[in-house]
Amino acid sequence: MTSVMWFRRDLRTADNPALLAALADGPTLPLFVLDPALWDPSGLPRRAYLVDSLRALRRDVPVSVLHGDPVRRVVETAQEVGATSVHVAADYGPYGRRRDEAVAEALEDAGIELVRTGSPYAVAPDRVKNGSDQSYKVFTPFSRAWAAHGWRDPAGALPDDARWRHLKDTVDLPDVALPDGIELPTAGEAAANEAWHAFLDKVTDYDDARDKPGVEGTSRMSHHLKYGEIHPRTILADLAGRQGAGATTYRQEIAWREFYADVLFQRPDTARDYLRPEFAKMQYDAPGADFEAWQEGRTGYPIVDAGMRQLRATGWMHNRVRMITASFLVKDLHVEWQHGARHFLQWLVDGDLASNNHGWQWTAGSGTDASPFFRVFNPTSQGRKFDPSAAYVRQWVPELADVDDPHEPSSADRKATGYPEPVVDHKAERQEALDRYQQIKA
């Protein structure tokens, strides 16, 4: 029998149960479909990284690439090679679920089976339930149940005797022109494993270093996980048996990723709408010149501007700074979280719908485990606390590198360096945010 392996968010050969299941069925055609529904709205960094990741995968697997509607392309391809099965890792996202159901129906009409094996998660959404068989709405009890549920060991490596089928007509991977100056991380399974093992040697320091954007204290694995160049099972297996705050905290970060995936699975509407709908009633301001200043990293608040400039230069932003910049947009500029979430997804290489949009809702006070809306980050004190030496600000706002206080430059320093005055007064806007919050509580 012949099978098709339809790659999506699993661009690797090791620990890929769907790929192993396809190969067990017989000679396998590896397939990737450039779906306009996903490709067109993606920002340039994500497009470029995806292409690089596919090129890396092609060094190990002869992936055929097609462009178009997967419902048509997958069925046509399976019929062309005489496949009896199409294998995938299950997709739990709002669009992915609808797409896969449509593909499954079309394949069934053609006498072909869609076989789902595994997922991008250690524990797939809808698996972890409370004693009443309900999904969790709060992270801490979810994380305990998630750990108790456990996950299977990583699957094996790609077999040496793998047999491949090939398509005669495939499309070339597109060249994606990035804005001048942007440098993306190296893509692919080999890069993911190298980065992971380099971080694993430093995981003991993670709990202390992860909140300091001026040091290399995070794993930088989010983009590798986004595209499935490494599976969280592999990471969790390597962490097994490691004690200490660093390893424990890192396991919790994996649990957060899976919690948000579960929340989005249960409430697909929250990709765009408020999890707590009362926050939709709050008074917000339309995006204007201040929003553009936020996007471009020229708000006059150094830690905010450093983060927004890092985002545009690298397709990544430190997680602590993501929270600071998000709080500034929602609570200092009074712009709804959806505008910021869309901007992040345009620039983030690791842009993941569940993690990104529910992270924004956390900051906006409308999500699960929400940071209370009345908790308004002071961008200056946040900068001093988490970037005490101002190394991060100096790197990304280089005009402030030599001023006396990069976190709060004087008017004279701003004038001399060309760095702007603050677009708003934080103290006044904090009170404005609290007043607007009181209006929806009344």
Q: Mean pLDDT across the stretch 361-384? A: 90
pLDDT band at 442, cuts 50/70/90? Answer: low
Q: Where are the alpha helices (DSSP H) in 297-425?
A: 302-314, 319-327, 337-347, 353-364, 379-386, 391-396, 411-417
Q: Mean pLDDT across the stretch 392-411? A: 98
DSSP label at 160? T
Across-strand partners of 113?
A: 85
- For the domain made up of 124-153+189-266, the CATH class stated in words is mainly alpha
In angstroms, how far is CA 19 from the centroid of its own chain? 23
Q: Per this entry, what is the length of the chain?
A: 442
Q: Mean pLDDT across the stretch 254-273? A: 98
With tokens 């990741």, the residue in question is 53
Handedness of CA 343, 349, 351, 355 (dihedral sign): negative
User: Would you say 223 and 316 are in contact if contact means Cβ atoms under 8 Å apart?
Assistant: yes
- CATH superfamily ID and name for 277-441: DNA Cyclobutane Dipyrimidine Photolyase, subunit A, domain 3 (1.10.579.10)
What is the pLDDT at residue 168? Answer: 85
DSSP label at 135? B
Q: Mean pLDDT across the stretch 70-79? A: 97
pLDDT band at 241, cuts 50/70/90? Answer: confident
Q: Where are the alpha helices (DSSP H) in 110-188?
A: 139-149
Q: What Rg do the C-alpha atoms of the chain give, in angstroms?
A: 23
Domains 2-119 and 124-153+189-266 alike in fold: no
Q: 32-44: string of b/e by CB count within 10 Å (b at 16+)?
A: bbbbeebeeebbb
- Of 102-111, 165-174, 416-425, the poorest mean pLDDT is in 165-174
Listed by start position, the domains of the chain span 2-119, 124-153+189-266, 277-441
Average pLDDT value over all residues in the chain: 96
Q: Mean pLDDT across the stretch 235-252? A: 95
Please report the DSSP string for 343-358 in residue order.
Answer: HHHHH-TT--HHHHHH
pLDDT above 70 coverage of the chain, percent: 99
DSSP label at 332? I
Helix (H, G, I), strand (E, B) or coil at 390: coil
pLDDT in tens, 281-311: 999 999 999 999 999 999 999 999 999 999 9
pLDDT band at 370, cuts 50/70/90? Answer: low
Helix (H, G, I), strand (E, B) or coil at 388: coil
What is the layout of strands, in order, in the sheet containing 2-6? 64-67, 28-34, 2-6, 83-88, 113-116
Q: How many distinct helices (H) and strands (E) make up the chain?
A: 20, 5
Q: Mean pLDDT across the stretch 373-400? A: 96
What is the pLDDT at residue 169? Answer: 82
Burial of residue 156 (CB within 10 Å: 0-12, 13-18, 19+) is: exposed
State the Cα–Cα distance between residues 390 and 380, nearest whole angstrom.
11
What is the pLDDT at residue 181? Answer: 86
- 133 φψ region: left (φ > 0), alpha (ψ -120 to 50), beta (else): left
State the Cα–Cα distance between residues 8 and 121, nearest whole angstrom.
14
What is the pLDDT at residue 180? Answer: 87
State the Cα–Cα distance between residues 119 and 99, nearest whole angstrom.
15
- In the numeric block, which tokens belong to residue 60? 């190990």
pLDDT band at 441, cuts 50/70/90? Answer: confident
What is the pLDDT at residue 372? Answer: 82
Q: How many CB atoms lie within 10 A of CB 415?
A: 11
pLDDT above 90 coverage of the chain, percent: 95
What is the pLDDT at residue 159? Answer: 94
User: Would you say 206 and 217 are in contact if contact means Cβ atoms under 8 Å apart?
Assistant: yes
User: Would you say 136 and 255 are in contact if contact means Cβ atoms under 8 Å apart?
Assistant: no
Across-strand partners of 64?
A: 31
Answer whether CATH 3.40.50.620 is correct for domain 2-119: yes
pLDDT in tens, 37-65: 999 999 999 999 999 999 999 999 999 99
Q: Mean pLDDT across the stretch 8-29? A: 97
What is the pLDDT at residue 100? Answer: 98
Across-strand partners of 2?
A: 83
C-alpha distance from residue 414 to each of 42, 404, 409, 418, 422 (Å): 36, 11, 6, 6, 10
pLDDT in tens, 339-354: 999 999 999 999 999 9
